[in-house]
Structure 1
Amino acid sequence: MNNCMPRNKKEGLLYGIIICAMTALTMATINISINMGEISKEAIIISIKAFPIVFIIALLLENFIVGKVADKLVNIFIQPTDSLNAHILFRTFFTVIGMSIIMTNVGGILANGFNIDVIKEFPVCWPRNFCIVIFLELIIVQPIARIIMKKIHERQDRS
């Protein structure tokens, strides 16, 4: 059994919360800083204030919409006999595509309200967000979440 991935729904929820929290806070800080023209104390404070709503929206979207679509797409492209790394890579890729498209729009709406600027800025904002998030997920966020899950399992297995 793989020791770095969730073993049940409770662990799956914890794993998702860890990933969602790190990604939502990081992306909120990056996008707010870009919109303000600099990384500043003010940008970080605004990001922290925006975090709860961004986190809740992202968690709900991932669990109830994007995650389900990503799982279906993974099942099309990946066989059960393929490696864990292949499963992780494809699941991450499909999730990041969906979440980055939706959250780019959500972020624009939260920042500017419902207006045409959100649509106009999408072709610039989405590719940037996608590139940042795919890097963030593959290199930083998911490895940290898997390390945490591994430590939880090691503690459980010793008990």
Structure 2
Amino acid sequence: MHGETRLPHNAKEGILFMLIISIISVNIIAPIIIGLERGFSKEVYFETLKLIPFMWVIVVLLVRFVAGPLVGKVMPKFVGQTDGFNARVLLNILLNVTVLSLLLSIIGTWVGMKEVSMEPIQNFLHIWPRNFGIAFWVEMLIAQPIARFAMKKLHHRQARKAVNK
């Protein structure tokens, strides 16, 4: 996948890519999940906005230190040399969303409730599939395509600058 214009080429671009995805994801997924839990209202949405910065930091840390390394180890076991870009991206999204939704179904509930309790663990089989589904489709249809589009535009601009030098 080296040289693919829709993906980051270096660490700086990787950070930008992760920032785009995480900011979009947290700002869509958290309000939907909390709205489903507490009802969709202006008051609930404004309460959710107060939690988003904390959730965003948690998501970035989990991606960087848990999901990223774990998915990086698992991906080669499932990806073949003839698998195309879309197959690899789909598997990457599926694995990352699985890991993150497993963890955030518990941690996110604690943040939302502002307390650590057994409730998300007791209700895990009820909340995790819903959270996974929401996160998967947001990643698949919104966050990832926007981030890949941004990378493509960035690389196009860099290539244009290199030609004009």
Which TM-score band (shorter chain)?
A: over 0.9
2:132 aligned partner: 130
More contact order relative to length (CA 8 Å, sep ≥ 6)? 2
- Within a 5 Å distance, the mapping from 1:58-137 to structure 2 comes to 58-112=59-113, 113-137=115-139
Aligned equivalent of 2:24: 22
Between the two proteins, the alignment pairs up a number of residues equal to: 158
Q: Distance in 1 between matches of 2:8 and 2:112?
A: 34
Alignment correspondent of 1:37: 39
CA distance in 2, matches of 1:137, 1:108: 20
Runs of 5+ unmatched residues, structure 1: none
CA drift of 1:79 comes to 2.5
What SS does the corresponding residue of 2:26 show, helix, strand or coil? helix
Query: Cα distance, 1:100 vs. partner?
Result: 0.3
Structure number with greater Rg is 2
| Cα distance in 2 between the residues matched to 1:62 and 1:7 | 18
Residue 156 (1) aligns with residue 154 (2): no
The alignment's TM-score, normalised by the length of structure 2, stands at: 0.91
Conservation of the 8 A alpha-carbon contact between 1:22 and 1:141: yes
- 2:28 matched to 1:8? no
Maintained 8 Å contact 1:78/1:87: yes
Counterpart for residue 140 of structure 1: 142
What's the offset of the Cα at 1:80? 3.8
Deviant stretches of 4+, over 6 Å: none
Residues 101-143 of structure 1 deviation map (CA, whole Å, 9 limit, x = unaligned) = 1011111111231212121221111000101111111111111
Percent identical among aligned pairs is 34
Segments of 5+ residues of structure 2 without an aligned counterpart are: none
RMSD: 1.2
Report how far residue 76 of structure 1 moved. 0.5
> What is the TM-score normalised by the length of structure 1?
0.94
